[in-house]
Amino acid sequence: DGPNMVMLRDTDGNDKADRREVLWSGIGLRDTHACVSNLRHGFDGWVYATVGYSGLDVSLNNVRHKSSQGVFRFLPDGTGFEVLQNTSNNTWGLSFTEEGDLVGSTANGNPSWFLSVPNRYFKMVGRDPQQVSKADRGEKLAPITWDYFQNNPKGLHSSAAGHAVYTSNRFPKEWQNKRVFICEPPMHLVTAPAMKRRGDRFETSGFEHNLYASADAWSAPVAAEVGPDGAVWIADWYNPICNHNPYRKHLELGTGNAFRSDDRDRSHGRIYRVFPAGTKDDLQPKLESEADALEALDHPNLFWRLAAQRVLTESSNSERLAALAKAEDGPRVRFHLLLAASNQQLDPVQIAGLARSSSDSLPTNSLNAHLECLHDLSRDPLIRKAAALRLVEATPDAMVGAELAKLVLSDKSLQENHHLGDAVRLAIIRHPEGFFRFLLETKQEVKGRYTVRIVKDSLTRFRASPDILSDGLVALARLSNGAIAKDLVKAAEKPAPLVQMTKQSPSAARGERAYLACVACHQPNGKGLPDTFPPLAGSKRLLGNPELPIKIILKGLQGELEAGGKKFNGVMPGHELLLKDKEVADVLNYVRSAWGNQAPEVDAAKVKEIRGEISDRKTPWTIDALSTKN
């Protein structure tokens, strides 16, 4: 409801909401196709959702949660909130596999991703979080008509909406928990690629396969979900206008940054059901008693299993549910009983590990158990990743660090399973004392990119927080030879300099809000996107003569360019019709002072001057036309 997340309740049982409660506020509304979407119940008792570049700025329990472009979760009563991981642009798809793996899609160029390591684990050890991990390979789609208009990237998913894993058995077995449904409204289709797991990652391919494709120019499917009947339900926008942003000079900008058009249709939306011919609807189970819910935990449709799990969390206590799980032989029922018993206590990584284990009890807090799991190379890498992240949450312990040192020196699979490797790396940064002591006492020489990175990251944290390593360890390093000892002593003698926080100017503060129009490509951290959009952090073009970035913002930029020794080839549209002189100056003053950038401020008069000089130009700039060097 506008900036508020609202819970509507039916308290008198008449199937009508009679109570309205604001759980939290802070939903960005600058651009209505970049707001919160995809709300759904998770396996853990939290509610999950996605957000685009309009962003979130939520304060809850004296903690501020600020983010754009990502996936987040919150407790149904509004008492908990977590930004799980960020994405690369507007995020319109979210779902779970039957094992609780969190997957989804972004609109432009990344139609299939999976959660790797949640942000909070990186923040616990002072590292910058990673974005969700890409599962697709940028494959071409297969529309059945050329009658469509598409934004970039052409021929691929440019407006990917939805990412539903097929989680019932009405479709053939080779579809069950193996196919995902992703809409592409401008192309009038719903793709059905296959998703499979390899080690600690997922791969999605076969985007030439469609579940639905139309030659009707009005058809614009925007959501495809697995229903309670086992069919796939498709919501068709069915509208001649399915593009949001203005793409011609004569188009007017309206509310929510959408262009105005009298051709928008508001009365012919459609809903379809798609299912194999001759199949019957999945049976609807009773959920009126505990016995009903227990029976429904083995239903073939995940929709009903999760519904039954929620009923049990509301009607039974955790001790009883844990006891039922211990006595249960069926792995599917046992899994959901354990989730009900641990309601609101786990996260998707821990759930995915639990799903692959044969345990009849909840994950333990025993450090030795987690270490034993990590050292067992026969274990599923997702189980081992969950164990490593449990160690990140633990109080620093020298024994843990020493055992992790032994692990990284012997386990080559950590370099193949990158996300498991990241989890172990974070665990070592959390427990550095024993790690370095083991290396020094055994006179180990660090070899290999992975181990070198662990040492570097751990020393970076030590320089910022000297108390994480003991004086005794530093003394041992002074008495030792070898590269590690020298680096440790050097880090002890030269701590990280204090970062001086500069006050943001009023213009830069306004520009930070305006930057939401740029964040999908250049990213919240200003680092851009590989191969396509160059970074703004440290950009010589941005921080030099302001005439150059003013020209680029107004008219756009296309073609190959080089920045920071890397090549990029994307298309940036001009913003001369969308941004006034003051807004161009504001956004420049923000990006020229963010992420460590330092450059003089730009005023609106300078923008007005440049706008007049280049008013006759009709096409985006190229680097050659700008005659500039990096």
The string of pLDDT tens digits covering residues 154-190 is: 899 999 999 999 999 999 999 999 999 999 999 999 9
Rg (the chain; Cα; Å): 26
Q: Kindly report, residue by residue over 107-134, the tens digit of the pLDDT.
A: 988 999 999 999 999 999 999 999 999 9
Q: Kindly report, residue by residue over 264-287, the tens digit of the pLDDT.
A: 888 999 999 999 999 999 999 999
Measured between alpha carbons, how far is 221 from 237 in angstroms, rounded to an integer?
A: 6
| Three-class DSSP category at 35 | coil
| Three-class DSSP category at 165 | strand
Mean pLDDT of the chain: 92
Q: What is the pLDDT of residue 630?
A: 37
* Sequence ranges of the domains in the chain: 1-83, 87-244+263-282, 290-356, 367-493, 506-626
Angle 581-591/506-514 helices, nearest 10 degrees?
A: 100
Q: Which two tokens stand for residue 316?
A: 């039974």
Q: What is the DSSP letter of 544?
A: S
Measured between alpha carbons, how far is 321 from 227 in angstroms, rounded to an integer?
A: 27
Residue with tokens 């494959």: 139
| Three-class DSSP category at 483 | helix
Q: Are 210 and 236 in contact (CB under 8 A)?
A: no
Low-confidence ranges of the chain (pLDDT < 70): 245-249, 496-502, 628-630
Residue 401's closest CA among 377, 426, 378, 384? 426
Q: What is the pLDDT of residue 111?
A: 97
Predicted structure pTM score? 0.89
| Three-class DSSP category at 327 | helix
Region class of 143: left (phi > 0), else alpha (psi between -120 and 50), else beta: beta
Q: What is the DSSP letter of 259?
A: B
- The correct answer on CATH 3.30.1490.100 for the domain covering 506-626 is no
Count of beta carbons in the 10 Å neighbourhood of residue 449: 8
Q: Please, what sign has the CA dihedral across residues 4, 49, 47, 192?
A: positive
Looking from the CA of 56 toward its CB, the CA atoms found within 13 Å total: 29
Q: Please, what sign has the CA dihedral across residues 304, 309, 314, 316?
A: positive
Name the helix (H) or strand (E) containing 211.
Answer: strand 210-213
Q: What is the pLDDT of residue 392?
A: 97
Measured between alpha carbons, how far is 273 from 38 in angstroms, rounded to an integer?
A: 19
Residue count of the chain, please give it: 630
Q: What is the pLDDT of residue 441?
A: 94
Residue 442 CA, distance from chain mean position: 40
| Three-class DSSP category at 574 | coil
Measured between alpha carbons, how far is 455 from 453 in angstroms, rounded to an integer?
A: 5
Residue 307's closest CA among 283, 327, 287, 334? 287
Q: What is the pLDDT of residue 247?
A: 62
Residue 222's closest CA among 253, 188, 176, 199? 188
Q: Each residue of 569-599: b (16+ CB within 10 Å) or e?
A: ebebbbbbebbebbbbbbbbbbbbbbeebeb
Q: What is the DSSP letter of 539?
A: -
